[in-house]
Structure 1
């Protein structure tokens, strides 16, 4: 059965429900019939939208290939509360497409987002190796104007320093390795040795002179202490 036949069948069902509603006298029965009417009306609207999309694809065959293209979502930001980590995905016009076109899957350490048929293409984001475990069942999505909000429920009320383990490792790698027991003068000596080895003759003479004067002052200080 094609979409046109499905729509005709639903419209016939809706007409019959209207006839039954006119004859119904009990409020409970009326409420059930009205609820079913709304359900059928939504199905008809969805089928008509689907039919319009199909007609556009038939009129422009290239649209199907464009819709199949999937772009990576890179424009996002994040913050957090005590219970949730919130990721904000900026997607212009996302609130105008059917909500079922936006799907989010959660696991304990990841989430993936797929937005179908927005501006002629799909949009996807996959975030693996989250910094801390999340509760997949209590995590959710919210669609706002030009934005998809991903709500990751924390398993522990702990502040996240970053989103993923990879980011954490990158930050730790960038930190300078400083030994707490290291003598500060060792760093200065290493720097002077490097400058001496790479410097010209004039630079070497200057360093030698400064070193000699420093040693003379040190020796004079020690002699004064002996007195």
Structure 2
């Protein structure tokens, strides 16, 4: 592009010193042709720069991953194809992890855990790529079992109200028997019906089933 600009400047210099009409017309036409090429070239460079910037800054979220743990480590698994460690960037903080996969056959991918459930030791965290799988290893500061990966997951879990205490001590047993009856097969129901009938017969009552 720089050479093209210099050609245009040289032709403009020649055109300004030319005296013959045909020569000036010829040089003027050539200058317009090169100026048009220069504009097209600048437009192409601009589009390429915008495309690259868009690719570099657009990340698809990683939604499919799994994890497990022992008392010391959390291990996160991300299934990949054709990935090398050069394409992976992971930022470890005390209570966060940010994973970026750059240019995996074109697209970029991102997994962010901004509020880990408990602190991790950043200097002992690591990652590796092996057999089409990306492994991210988080070292726990304290040995423990995590119920989930993040504070957000824990707070978003539905709360289950504990069963209300009953004044009747047999209510819990009756609820358990009813649950067995509702979920049991025909043989289980026959057995429970028989047992309840015999129990209520002794009290001279009919069973409530």
TM-score if structure 2 supplies the norm length?
0.52
CA RMSD of aligned residues (A): 3.1
Return the alpha-carbon distance in structure 2 between the equivalents of residues 141 and 102 of structure 1: 9
1:164 to 141, 150, 172: 150
1:124 and 1:184 map into 2 onto residues whose CA distance is 55
* Structure 2, gaps ≥5 residues long: 1-44, 172-203, 205-209
Cα shift at 1:66: 4.4
Point out the structure with the larger strand share: 1
Alpha-carbon distance in structure 1 between the residues aligned to 2:64 and 2:142: 27
User: What SS is found at the alignment partner of 1:119?
Assistant: coil
Aligned to 2:137, which of 151, 157, 180? 151
User: Is the partner of 1:133 in helix, strand or coil?
Assistant: coil
Shift of 1:160: 1.2
| Structure 1: 5+ residue stretches without partners | 1-57, 188-220, 222-227
Partner of 1:167, secondary structure, is helix
Cα deviation for residue 159 of structure 1 reads 1.1
Query: Equivalent residue of 1:169, what SS?
Result: helix
Q: 2:76 aligned with 1:91, yes or no?
A: no
Quote the Cα distance in structure 1 between the aligned partners of 2:152 and 2:78.
20
Name 1:128's counterpart in structure 2: 114
C-alpha separation between the residues in 1 aligned to 2:168 and 2:108? 56
Partner of 2:61: 72
The alignment partner of 1:151 has SS state of: strand
TM score, norm. by length of structure 1: 0.48
Cα deviation for residue 104 of structure 1 reads 0.5
How far off is 1:184 after superposition? 6.1
* Structure with bigger gyration radius: 2
